């Protein structure tokens, strides 16, 4: 995380892992005391391969792990948690390695407070990057606030502050992200419940003088969930992203369409299949 903050290459690694985890979770269903699943996946961006998922839970601890194989090799991701309900503590260890060999690990401790929780942890990557992070969640009358920060090995800090307040139809959300050089983006949203999910409208401003509006929705329709997001800047240029995830008989399928300000579109997607148990 030197001049690039956060590390965009590791962000791409994380997004690949998150995409696989998301469809594995959708394909395997709810957690159980012990669960094993395997199958195949394919996508226009991630290629194709096989995967295996294992989850175990017992009193005071849980372990979850996913491995996948493709033409580049084998990747893996795991999350191990231990907790003490009486003491109000949760310890979490995460690790992820792509088939290309890039890896990242993190460890954290979450402690219950009188009006929320506090988390402190550290991370490191195979590229020699490292740092610490902190998160505090505070519950108050009619709302909740969350303050997060991340500091890299060079002492550069980025922060994110979010406040959510209950409204008659949903919540009002305000979020400000500040980079290590003081540049910031503030987004204000009203998120409302609908008959089939959620809808949102909002505005954003940046420390550099840019501004615009945002819209979004989350719609449940049978076995499908569709999420739409769009942002329009002060010049009237709009970018949007539409994501549909559908549960199938033996897994899940995902389709993503991105539309740029000039109307150009990019569509990609994939599917994950669970082997018969």
pLDDT attached to residue 25? 52
Query: In the predicted model, is pLDDT for residue 61 greater than 70?
Result: yes
Region 148-175: mean pLDDT is 97
Can you give 196-226 as a three-state secondary structure string?
CEEEEEEEEEECCCCEEEEEEEEEEECCEEE
Inform me whether the pLDDT recorded for 251 exceeds 60.
yes
Beta-bridge partner residues of 187: 175, 204
What's CA 152's distance to the chain center, in Å? 20
pTM as predicted? 0.82
Q: Which of 27, 35, 24, 31 is nearest to 67 (CA)?
A: 24
Contact 147, 135 (CB under 8 A): yes
Q: How far apart are the first and last CA of the chain?
A: 43
The pLDDT value recorded for residue 232 is 98
Structural domains of the chain, with CATH: 8-274 (2.40.160)
What is the percent of the chain with per-residue pLDDT over 90, rounded to a whole number?
80
Strand partners, 273: 40, 251
pLDDT > 70? residue 101: yes
Lowest mean pLDDT among 28-32, 211-215, 248-252: 28-32
As a whole number of angstroms, the longest Cα–Cα distance in the chain is 56
Q: Beta strands 61-70 and 73-84: pairing type?
A: antiparallel
Residue 10: per-residue pLDDT: 40
Tokens of 38: 């395997």
pLDDT band with cut points at 50, 70 and 90 for residue 43: confident
pLDDT of residue 253: 94
Smallest CA-to-CA distance from 124 within 97, 164, 149 is with: 97
Pairing relation of β-strands 265-274 and 157-166?
Answer: unpaired
Res 12 pLDDT > 60:
no
Contacts of 170 (CB under 8 A, 6+ apart): 190, 191, 192, 193, 198
Q: Which residues have CB under 8 Å from 95's CB, separation 6+?
A: 76, 77, 78, 103, 104, 105, 106
Is 266 strand, coil or helix? strand
pLDDT for the residue 19? 52
Report phi then psi at 220, rounded to 5: -95, 130
Output the pLDDT for position 17: 46
Give me the pLDDT at residue 270, please: 92
């Amino acid at each position: 995380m030197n001049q690039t903050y956060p590390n965009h290459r590791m962000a791409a690694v994380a997004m690949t892992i998150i995409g696989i985890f998301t469809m594995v979770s959708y394909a395997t269903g709810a957690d159980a005391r012990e669960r094993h699943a395997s199958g195949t996946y394919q996508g226009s961006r991630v290629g194709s391969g096989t995967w295996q998922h294992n989850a175990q839970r017992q009193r005071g601890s849980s372990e979850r792990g996913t491995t996948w194989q493709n033409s580049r090799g084998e990747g893996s991701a795991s999350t191990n948690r231990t907790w003490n309900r009486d003491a109000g503590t949760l310890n979490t260890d995460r690790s992820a390695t792509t088939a290309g060999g890039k890896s990242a690990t993190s460890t954290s401790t979450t402690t219950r407070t009188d009006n929320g929780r506090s988390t402190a942890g550290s991370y490191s990557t195979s590229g020699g990057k490292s740092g610490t992070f902190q998160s505090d969640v505070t519950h108050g009358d009619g709302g909740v606030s969350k303050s997060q920060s991340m500091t890299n090995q060079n002492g550069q800090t980025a922060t994110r502050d979010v406040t959510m307040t209950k409204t008659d139809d949903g919540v009002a959300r305000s979020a400000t992200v500040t980079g290590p050089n003081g540049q910031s983006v503030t987004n204000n949203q009203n998120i409302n419940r609908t008959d089939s999910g959620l809808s949102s409208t909002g505005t954003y401003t940046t420390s550099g003088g840019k501004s615009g509006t945002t819209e979004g929705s989350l719609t449940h329709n049978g076995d499908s969930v569709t999420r739409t997001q769009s942002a329009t800047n002060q010049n009237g240029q709009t970018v949007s992203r539409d994501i549909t995830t559908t549960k199938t008989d033996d897994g899940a399928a995902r389709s993503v369409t991105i539309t740029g300000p000039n109307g150009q579109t990019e569509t990609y997607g994939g599917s994950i299949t669970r082997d018969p148990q």
